[in-house]
Amino acid sequence: MIDKQINSVAQAVADIKDGSTIMIGGFGEAGSPIELIHALIDQGAKNLTVVSNNTGSGHVGLAALINNKQVSKMICSFPKSANSKVFPELYKKGQIELELVPQGTLAERIRAGGAGIPAFYTATSVNTTLAEGKEIREFDGQIYVMEHGIKADYSLVKCKAGDRYGNLIYNKTARNFGPIMCTAAETSIVQAEKLLELGAIDPEHVVTPGIFVKRLIIVPNPAAESQLVSEDRRYP
Amino acid sequence: MTSKGIVEGWDRAQMAQRAALDIQDGAYVNLGIGIPEMVAGFVPAGREVIYHTENGLLGMGPTPEPGQENQELINAGKKPVTAISGACYFHHADSFMMIRGRHIDVCVLGAMQVSKDGDLANWSTGAPDAIPAVGGAMDLVAGVKTIYVITQHITKKGDSKIVENCTYPLTGKGVVNRIYTNLAVIDVNQDGLMLRELAPGITLEFVKEKTDATLNIHPDLR
């Protein structure tokens, strides 16, 4: 029998080791798996490399993980936003490393990682500082830069609903990095608001096929990051 | 006009309105944050335009009514939006496939500097203490078929944003097709910059004085 359900967020992240590379879904708060991130703070793994589009807001979720000194390196496209304070402070003090990647290159590097593609060429960032030191190659008279696929040990993803096979559906623009991060991690860990019976998701409508999901945790009423930030909440 | 003057000519809404005239019926369009976002409100009636937001929505609609916001339905600026009938959601790799695979027709962006060759700088001042953040800007200029820039002609300090060569780090080289400023509409073509239109009350001499790059003058300058 296949049942990817795990009983608690604590159990879901229990085996994450120091030094792991972890992909964390979300574009701003949309799709950010706050409960899984908070479980990782409780768990305490350190020296993590985190791949995520942003660096979190206020002092909850990803920002709290960074604030707890568990992250040594961020790979992201936009490490600042209106309410991001933690990362900018640590970065200015030289206490956290940043690999800045254009957003589409970041998405494609994750996709490539999940597809077994070690590297690819793209026109994005050619003739800019972000292409410095990278292999440049011409195809049909156009200049491209080589970028490497990214794989992770774990990914933490939030979705709307899933079944015990791990088939997933998402909610609106909260889908963002979730589907590709599920494919690029050795162990993908997904929090869903709702468990559905097998067959309840029309096979035509499955967004992430269950083969890409290792662990599924039901979190019925996930916290809204912006609300926690507006209340100036902190984790832990 | 004061010595620092930046408020003559078109205002922000009028710049967006002028750019909107160039958005064709049936176009797939990506709008940047700031003045570019305002373009959607001015596209002439009778043109059906589909707006793409790179966080994963094709068919973005206007800002929701107060109380109708959904934090999982946002635009690239992380602001609540709506989805039109016929909209679709997709993940980030698909969204940037639309951009990088040259499927989006027009992108309208802001700028810190644009050069005579169409080089664009709009992501970083390069200052050593700045937190670098690029987002999707480099993908958009590399992949979208037509790149329009809307920007004030000069900075608050009085420096021209239209320059011979950008001094800020580039977003892309030779990528801009047309520039809409508060003073003028300027095309970028193989021979450099071509002044096409002047804002009401703005003289040719004034635009030349406020531009730190050579301007060719279109024979039908309006």
In order along its 222 residues, chain B shows pLDDT tens digits of 444 444 579 999 999 999 999 999 999 999 999 999 999 999 999 999 999 999 999 999 999 999 999 999 999 999 999 999 999 999 999 999 999 999 999 999 999 999 999 999 999 999 988 899 999 999 999 999 999 999 999 999 999 999 999 999 999 999 999 999 999 999 999 999 999 999 999 999 999 999 999 999 999 998
Task: Say whether B89 and A111 touch across the interface (CB within 8 A).
Answer: no
| Chain A hits for B60, Cβ within 8 Å | none
pLDDT given at position A82 = 78
- Between residues 165 and 224 of chain A, which touch chain B (CB distance below 8 Å)? 170-180, 207, 224
Task: Say whether B83 and A103 touch across the interface (CB within 8 A).
Answer: no
pLDDT given at position A137 = 98
Helix (H/G/I), strand (E/B), else coil: A161: strand
Q: Is A125 left (phi over 0), alpha (psi -120 to 50) or beta?
A: left
Distance CA B171, CA A157 (A): 30
Residue B45: inside a domain, yes or no? yes
Task: Say whether B57 and A172 touch across the interface (CB within 8 A).
Answer: yes
pLDDT given at position B130 = 87
Instruction: Give me the residue from B92, B137, B143 closest to A176, CB to CB.
Output: B92
Helix (H/G/I), strand (E/B), else coil: A36: helix
pLDDT given at position B4 = 47
* 8-state DSSP, B40: G
Interface size, chain A vs chain B, as Cβ–Cβ contacts under 8 Å = 142
Distance CA A56, CA B32 (A): 22
Instruction: Give me the residue from A107, A127, A175 closest to B173, CB to CB.
Output: A127
Residue B222: inside a domain, yes or no? no
- Write down the residue that tokens 């047309």 correspond to: B178
Domain count, chain B: 1
Residue B146: inside a domain, yes or no? yes
Residue B197: inside a domain, yes or no? yes
The parts of chain A modelled with pLDDT lower than 70 are none
Residue B5: inside a domain, yes or no? no
Task: Say whether A124 and B100 touch across the interface (CB within 8 A).
Answer: yes
Residue B96: inside a domain, yes or no? yes
Torsion of CA B165, B166, B172, B178, to 10 degrees: -70
Q: How far off is chain B from A210, nearest CA to CA, in Å?
A: 16
**Cβ neighbours, 10 Å, residue A209:** 15
Residue-range definition of the domain harbouring residue B21: 12-217
Distance CA A49, CA A40 (A): 13
| Helices B92-100, A103-115: crossing angle, 10 deg rounding | 120
Which one of A77, A81, A124 would you mutate to disrupt binding with B, by most B Cβ within 10 Å of its Cβ? A124
Domains and CATH numbers, chain A: 9-118+148-230 (3.40.1080.10)
pLDDT given at position B2 = 44
Please list the active-site residues of B: 54
Task: Say whether B71 and A171 touch across the interface (CB within 8 A).
Answer: no
Angle subtended at Cα A26 by Cα A72 and Cα A30, rounded to the nearest 5 degrees: 140
Q: How far is CA A119 from the centre of its chain?
A: 20
Residue B4: inside a domain, yes or no? no
Residue B107: inside a domain, yes or no? yes
> Residue B38 sits in a domain of what CATH number?
3.40.1080.10
